[in-house]
Chain A
Amino acid sequence: MAYKRQIDRLPIPPADAKVQNVTCHYCIVGCGYKAYTWPRNKQGTLENNAFGINLGEQQPADGTWLAPSMYNMVRQNGQDVHLAVVPDHECVVNSGLASIRGARMAENRPSRVTGTQQQRLSDPLVWRNGVWQPTTWNDALDLVARVTAKIVNEYGEDELVVSMFDHGGSAGGYENTWATGKLYFDSMKVKNCRIHNRPAYNSEVHSSRDMGVGELNYSYSDYEVTDTIFMIGANSLETQTNLFLNHMVPGLRNGAKFIMVDPRRTVTVNAAEEVAGKDNVLHLAITPGTDMALFNALLTYIVDNGWTDNDFIAASTFQGGEAVAEGSSQPAGLGSLNYAMQTCRTSIEEAAGICGVDAADIVKAAEWIAKPHDDGARRKCVTAYEKGIIWGNDNYRTIGALVNISLATGNIGREGGGCCRLGGHQEGYYRPSDAHVGRPAEYVDQLLIKGGGKVYHVWACDHYKTTLNASQFKRVLKKRSDMVKEAMDAAAGGTREELVDAIVGAVNAGGIFVVDVDIIHSQIGQNAHVLLPACESNEMNLTSMNGERRMRLSERYMDPFGNSKPDCLIAAGVAQHMEAALRDLGNDAYADQFKGYDWETEEDAFMDGYNAGNPEVTYERLRAMGNNGVQEPVAGYENGQLVGTPRLYADGNFDRHGRDDKKALFCAAQWRGYAAAGKAREAENHNFFVNNVRANIFWQNQFLDQDSDFVQDRFPYPFIEMNAADMADLGISAGDLIEITNENGATQGMAYPTDTAKRGQVAMVFGSPAGSQGNVVNPGVSELILPEYKLTFGNVRKLADAPPQARAVSFKSKEYKA
C-alpha cells in the first residue's frame, strides 16, 4: 500500500519569521520559493502568521499551503530553527506553482532533529587502515595536494584527470564553476577533463553556437504569445514542469498549436491534448534517431513554398555561399541558406520513409511552423529541444538542421519565437578560457579505461550511474582504484611521505588516486581515496541563471551540514594546499600559480570571478531583485535596478560564433543514418530500442531521492515502460524484474506495462542507483565526443517475479483521465 506520512498537523510560521529568497536548485526552470525560518520554541497562530491569512479557514485551490514536504527543522547560525520553503506567488517563473521536486526542498535538507538526509557527508573522509576514517580538512587536503602536486610536478598536468559540473543550481553555480575553473584552467591547464553528463569537456550544442545562435535565446513568456510550440526530444511536463504549466499551457489556451517529435508518447503530449484539443496537437512518433531527415524535409517544404522570412534572411544571415568548410573539428559545413539547401534538400516522401511517419503529418507540421496566416502575417513559432536530439543520433548536424528552420522562418530574437534547448540543470558557468582543451576534446572515459591518468579529481559527478559504457568504466576504475587502496593499506602506520610514496608507486603501476568532492558518499565515491564534503545551495549563497537566462541569488538560510563547505571554498583549499606542497617540492614558480584564493566566503569567490567580468552585478543588487532577478546579459544598473535583456538577438545581430559580420549561418546537415560507431549494428542485432527517459519524481540520478521514502515507495526499482504484448511474449508481468542486455553490459529494472509504448521499444528511467541505463549504452560518440545515450538497442529477459515492494505499487497509465 502507498506510503503514508502520518503527519496531520504542522507548526505555523509566525508573522516575524525570517524570509529569504530561494530559487529551486533542481531543474533549469528555477522556480521562486520563499524560505521562512523561525526559532524552535516559537510558532504563529491561525490568525497571526507569516502568510498573513487566516489559517483556521480551509484554503481554496491554488491557495497558500505548507505541505509536510515543505517543512523541516535545520541548523541556522548554530541554532535549530523551523524551516518552511513554499512556492512564491510573486515569481514570474512559476507564479506560486511547486513541482514534485521543488516542493521537497525542505525535507531534502539534512536535519539532526527530524533525521532527514543523514546520508549527507559531514566531514572529510580518508581511506585509512582499510576503512573510511573521518578527519580534518587540513589532513585531507594535505594528502590530496601532496599526491596531486607530486604527480603534476613530475609527470605533467595531463596526468591529472578532472570530472566537474559546468552548470548552476544544485552543485555548480557561478561561485563554484569559477573556483573550480580557476583551479584547473588558470592555476593549471588541465586538458583531460569532462563534464558531469558527458565524457569530454565540450558543448552539447556546438552547431547552434557555430551558427551564431546561443542556445538560450528567448523568454519563457514567448510561449504565451506564439502561434506554434515545436518541441523535439523533450518531455517538459515531467522535466521542466512549471515552464510547461505556467507558460506553455497559457500559450495553448491562447490558441497555439503543439508539435511533438518523440518516438514515445509522453504525459506532455497527453496534457497538450487535454488543454489544446487533439486537433491542435501533432505527435510525430518518428523512428528513433531520424530527426534530421524530418527537419530537412520541413525546411525544404518551407523553402519551396516560399514561407521563409526573406527580409530576416537578407539582413541577419550569411549570403556568400560557404562560410566554414567541413573539417576535422568541424562536422558540417556552414554558410548561406542556399549553400545549406544543397545538402539538406529532402522530399516529404523521402523523410516519411526514413522517419516512419505519414507524409501528410510532415506537411501539417510544416504548415503549423511556417505557413503564413490568412492575412499574410508570418507565423510565430517557438522551437524547443532537449536530450532526444542532444543525446541522440548525429548531434551536430541534427541540431544544426533544426536551427536552420528557425533561422529560415525568422523565429529567433523575436517575440513569440526562439530556438532553444530546454535544459536540465540551471546554468551558472563562469570560468577562464577552456581553449587549451581543444576540439574535439579528449574522450576522458576512454583515456581512463586505457590506463591514462594518475590522479582523478571528481566534483559532484556520479558517472557510475550516469555515464555511457558504464559497465566497463566501473570495472576498470574500481580495479585501478583498488590498487591504490591496497598500497595505502600496506603503508599503514607510516609517515605522510611514506604514504604519498606508496600512492605514487601504485599509480605508476597502473592504479589511480581518486578524490571525490560530493554531498553524499556516491557510487563512484566508493572507489575514491579521499572524500571532501560539499554543501548545497541555501547552505551557501548561490547564483545561477535559468532557461531564459534569469539570474537570481538563492540565499543561504541554513548552515552547511557538519563540517561540509561550499565547493568554491573547497577548491580554494585545494589550491592553497597545492601551493604549499609545490613549495615543499622546491618549485616556487609553479607554487605561485596557486595564489589568489584567499576567500573567506562564497561571495568572495563571486566577486573574484563573475563580478570581475560583470561589475554591475553584486549580491546586494541581486538580493534586491528578489526571485524575479534579472535576465542576462545584464545591460546596466539604473534607478536601483539591474537592467536585463529579455531576448537575445533582438537587433538581428548573431554573435555566438564570434564572427565579426554578426551574420547567422545555416548548417549543411547531411543525413547519414546512424552515424556513431556501432549503433547501426547494435540496432540490427537486438530486439528492442532502449529509450533513456526521465520522470518528474526523480531529480537527476536520485542522489537525494534515494533516501526519500515517498519517492522510493513509488518506484522501488527503476521503471522500464513496455508494451503489454511484448511482455506477454516474454512471459513478463507487471513489476517483474527484467534485464536489458547487449554487448556493452546489462542493467535491470521493473517492468511497467504501458499501453502507449510501441512494440519493440522500451523506455528505461535514466541514472537510477538500482540499475544504470548507462551500462548498456555503447561507447560510440559523435565527432565532437557527444554521447548518444538515447540511441541504444538491447534484448530483454525476465530475471525474477515482482518482489514485494514492486507488487505494492500502482502500474496504471501515467496519462490523465478526464
Chain B
Amino acid sequence: MSNKCNRLVDVGRRQFMRGGAFAVAGAAAATVTSAPAQASPANAQLDYPSNRLANIADLAVNEPMDIEYPDADSPGILLKLGEAVEGGAGPDGNIVAYSVLCPHKGWYLTYSAEDRSLNCPGHFSRFDAEVGGQQIWGHATQNLPQFTLRVDAKGDIYAEGCSDLIFGRPSNVL
C-alpha cells in the first residue's frame, strides 16, 4: 500500500471518515464465517454499512475528497462534478464516489482534474469519473466500483452500496 499517490487529493481538503468501522465488522461476522454443520439462512445480498461521507457544503467542484468505504481498508473518492451525470447523486445530480483501487492490479488511482479521469500509474489504465467510472482504456475487466450514494435533506452524503467487486477482496464487506 506504499504506492499511494499524494496527488490523489488536495492535502488541505483531506478528510478521513471512519464512522462506519463498527458496522463493517458486524457485517463481516454475519456474512462470511465458515459454513456451519447445520444449514442456516444467509442473506441473499450483502449488508452494506450506511456511512456518512461528507456534507454537500464540504465539496468543491472537481476537487475530490478522500473517503474510505465500506471500511477503512477500501479507499475511494467523493467528487462533485460540474454538471449532472447519469447516476449522479444530490439535488444537482452531480455527486459521485468511486473506489480508487484499480480493478486490474490494485494500484492507487490518481485523479486528473484536467479531464476528470482516474489514472493508474502502474499500468496506465484510465477511468472516466463522468461516465460511471467507465474504463476509458486499460487492463481491468470491469469498470470502476461506484459507491451508491444517498443525500439527505441536510445535505449529508451517505454511501450505502457498491456496484462492483472491489480489488483485493472476495466480498466487498469483509
**A residues whose Cβ falls under 8 Å from a Cβ of B:** 1-10, 12, 43, 45-46, 48, 55-63, 65-70, 97-100, 103-104, 107, 237, 241, 245, 267, 270-271, 274, 696, 710, 713-714, 808-810, 812-818
Question: How far is B114's CA from A813's CA once the two chains are assembled, in angstroms?
Answer: 12
Inter-chain contact A812/B170, CB cutoff 8 Å: no
A813 near B115 with CB under 8 A, answer: yes
Residues in A with CB closer than 8 Å to B46 are 8-9
Compute how far the CA of A818 lies from the CA of B34 in the bound complex, rounded to whole angstroms: 43
Q: Are A67 and B73 in contact (CB under 8 A)?
A: no
Enumerate 7 A-B pairs (CB-CB under 8 Å) in ascending A order: A9-B46, A46-B174, A58-B169, A61-B106, A97-B105, A696-B137, A815-B126
Assess the A4–B164 pair: CB atoms within 8 A.
Answer: yes
Contact B174 A58 (CB under 8 A): yes
Q: A61-B105, A67-B141, A812-B117 are in contact. Are A2 and B122 (CB under 8 A)?
A: no
B143 and A3 contact, CB distance less than 8 A: yes
User: B165 to A5, Cβ gap below 8 A?
Assistant: yes
Q: Which 9 A-B pairs have the closest CB atoms?
A: A2-B134, A2-B132, A59-B168, A9-B171, A69-B141, A58-B73, A1-B132, A814-B137, A810-B128
In angstroms, Cα B162 to Cα A223, docked, is: 41
The verdict on B1 contacting chain A, using a C-beta distance below 8 Å, is yes
Residue of B nearest to A4 (CB): B163
Contacts of B123 in A (CB 8 A): 97, 245
Report B-chain residues with C-beta under 8 Å of the C-beta of A61.
1, 3, 101, 105-108, 122
Chain B residue, CB-CB nearest to A8: B172
Is the Cβ of B164 less than 8 Å from the Cβ of A6? yes
CB distance from A449 to the nearest CB of B (A): 38
- Which B residues touch A43, using CB under 8 A? 35
CA distance A8 to B172 in the complex (A): 5
B residues 86-116 near A (Cβ < 8 Å) are: 86-87, 101, 103-108, 110, 112, 114-115
A46 touches B168 (CB 8 A): no
Cα distance, A809 to B117, chains bound together (Å): 14
Check if B170 sits within 8 Å of A58, measured CB to CB: no
* B residues near A8, Cβ cutoff 8 Å: 46, 162, 164-165, 171-173
Determine whether B142 belongs to the interface, using a CB cutoff of 8 Å to chain A.
Answer: yes
A340 to chain B, nearest CB (A): 39
Residue of B nearest to A69 (CB): B141
Chain A residues, CB < 8 A from B172: 8-9
Closest-by-CB residue of B relative to A13 is: B170
- B22 contacts partner chain A, Cβ-Cβ < 8 Å: no
Count of A-B contacts judged by CB separation below 8 Å: 174
Complex Cα–Cα for A65 and B144 (A) = 15
Q: Once bound together, how far apart are the Cα atoms of A810 and B132, in whole Å?
A: 9
Query: Which chain A positions have C-beta within 8 A of B101?
Result: 61
Contact A817 B114 (CB under 8 A): yes
Tell me whether B138 is interfacial, beta carbon within 8 Å: yes
| Contact A5–B32 (Cβ < 8 Å) | no
Taking A55-B169, A60-B1, A104-B141 as given, write out 11 further A-B residue pairs in contact, using a Cβ cutoff of 8 Å, ordered by the A residue number. Answer: A1-B132, A4-B163, A5-B164, A55-B170, A58-B74, A58-B168, A68-B164, A245-B123, A808-B86, A810-B134, A814-B126
Q: Which residues of A contact B56 (CB under 8 A)?
A: none
A152 to chain B, nearest CB (A): 46
Which of B107, B131, B139, B173 has a CB less than 8 Å from the CB of A809? Answer: B131
Whether the Cβ atoms of A63 and B106 lie closer than 8 Å is yes
Interchain CB contact (< 8 A) of A2 among B34, B126, B131? B131
Q: Give the shortest distance, in Å, between A239 (CB) and chain B (any CB).
A: 13
Contact, CB under 8 Å: A812 / B163: no
User: In the complex, which residues of chain B have a beta carbon less than 8 angstroms from the beta carbon of A3?
Assistant: 134, 143
**Chain B neighbourhood of A816, CB < 8 A:** 119-120, 124-126
Q: Is there contact, CB below 8 Å, between B139 and A100?
A: yes
Bound-complex Cα distance A271 to B139 (A): 13
Expressed in whole angstroms, the minimum distance between the Cβ of A713 and any Cβ of chain B is 8
The residues of B that contact A66 with a CB separation of less than 8 Å are: 170
Q: Across the interface, name the chain A residue whose C-beta is closest to B1.
A: A60
Chain B residue contacts of A57, Cβ below 8 A: 73, 174
Cβ-defined contact, B141 with A710, below 8 A: yes
Closest-by-CB residue of A relative to B116 is A812
Inter-chain contacts of A104 with B (CB < 8 A): 141
In the bound complex, do residue A270 and residue B131 qualify as a contact, i.e. CB atoms below 8 Å apart? no
CB distance from B62 to the nearest CB of A (A): 14
Cβ contact within 8 Å between A60 and B143? no
The contact string, 1 if C-beta is below 8 Å from chain A, for chain B 141-174, is 1111010000000000000001111011111111
With a cutoff of 8 Å between Cβ atoms, the chain A residues found around residue B168 in the complex are: 58-60, 63, 65
Asked if residues A808 and B131 are in contact (CB atoms below 8 Å), the reply is yes
B60 at the interface (CB under 8 A from A): no
Is there contact, CB below 8 Å, between A818 and B121? Answer: yes
Contacting A4 at CB < 8 Å: which of B104, B132, B136? B132
Are A100 and B163 within 8 A (Cβ)? no
Which residue of the partner chain B has the closest CB to A106?
Answer: B141
Q: How far is the CA of A436 from the CA of B54 in the complex (A)?
A: 75
A59 to B128, CA, bound (A): 24
Residue from A60, A68, A696, A808 in contact with B106 in the complex, judged by beta carbons closer than 8 Å = A60
Using A9-B46, A814-B136 as known contacts, say yes or no to A67 and B106 having CB atoms under 8 A apart: no
Residues of chain B within 8 A of A55, CB atoms compared: 169-170
Cβ of B51 under 8 Å from chain A: no
Minimum CB–CB distance for A132 against chain B, Å: 33
A714 touches B134 (CB 8 A): yes
- Asked if B143 and A4 make an inter-chain contact with CB atoms under 8 angstroms apart, the answer reads yes
List, in ascending order, chain A residues with CB within 8 A of B134's CB.
1-3, 713-714, 809-810
Q: Are A241 and B1 in contact (CB under 8 A)?
A: no
Given A46-B170, A58-B169, A5 contacting B142 (CB threshold 8 A): yes
Q: Which residues of chain A come closer than 8 Å to B174, judged between CB atoms? A: 46, 56-58
| Bound complex: CA A93 to CA B78 (Å) | 38
Kindly report which residue of chain B lies nearest to residue A97, judged by CB atoms. Answer: B105
> Which residues of chain A have C-beta atoms less than 8 A from B21's C-beta?
none
CA distance A814 to B115 in the complex (A): 11
**Distance between A46 CB and nearest chain B CB, rounded to angstroms:** 6
Q: How distant is the Cα of A724 from the Cα of B120 in the complex, in angstroms?
A: 26
> Are A103 and B141 neighbours in the complex by a CB distance under 8 Å?
yes
- Let me know if B135 is at the binding interface, CB within 8 A: yes
Question: Which single residue of chain B is at the shortest CB-CB distance from A9?
Answer: B171
Closest-by-CB residue of A relative to B108 is: A61
B133 is an interface residue with CB less than 8 A from chain A: yes
A817 pairs with B131, CB closer than 8 A: no
Flag if A100 contacts B138 (CB, 8 Å).
Answer: yes
Nearest CB on A from B98, distance (A) = 11
Bound Cα distance A779, B134 (Å): 39
- A615–B119 CA distance with the chains assembled, in angstroms: 50
Contact, CB under 8 Å: A1 / B131: yes
Q: Is the CB of B131 within 8 A of A241?
A: no
- B164–A98 contact, CB under 8 A? no
A817 B165 Cβ-Cβ under 8 A: no
For residue A274, which residues in chain B have a CB less than 8 angstroms away from its CB?
Answer: 124
Contacts A46-B32, A61-B106, A817-B119; A6 near B126 (Cβ below 8 A) = no
Give the contacting residue for A99; candidates B103, B121, B139, B170; CB below 8 A.
Answer: B139
CA–CA, A56 to B169, complex, Å? Answer: 7
Give Cα A812–Cα B131 distance, bound, in whole angstroms.
10
Q: Which chain B residues lie closer than 8 Å to A817 at the CB level?
A: 112, 114-115, 117, 119, 126
Residue of A nearest to B131 (CB): A810
Q: How far is the CA of A689 from the CA of B92 in the complex (A)?
A: 44
CA distance A8 to B43 in the complex (A): 13
B9 close to A (CB within 8 Å): no
- A5, A10, A241, A810: the one contacting B136 at CB < 8 Å is A810
Query: In the complex, how many angstroms separate the beta carbon of A513 from the nearest chain B beta carbon?
Result: 41
Q: Which of A70, A245, A271, A812 contacts B128 (CB 8 A)?
A: A812
A812 and B126 contact, Cβ closer than 8 Å, known pairs A8-B172, A61-B1, A710-B142: yes
- Selected contact of B139 from candidates A6, A241, A714, A810, CB within 8 Å: A241
Tell me, yes or no, whether B17 is within 8 Å of chain A by CB: no
CB <8 Å contact, B105 and A62: yes
Rounded to whole angstroms, the CA-CA distance of A274 and B125 in the bound complex is 13
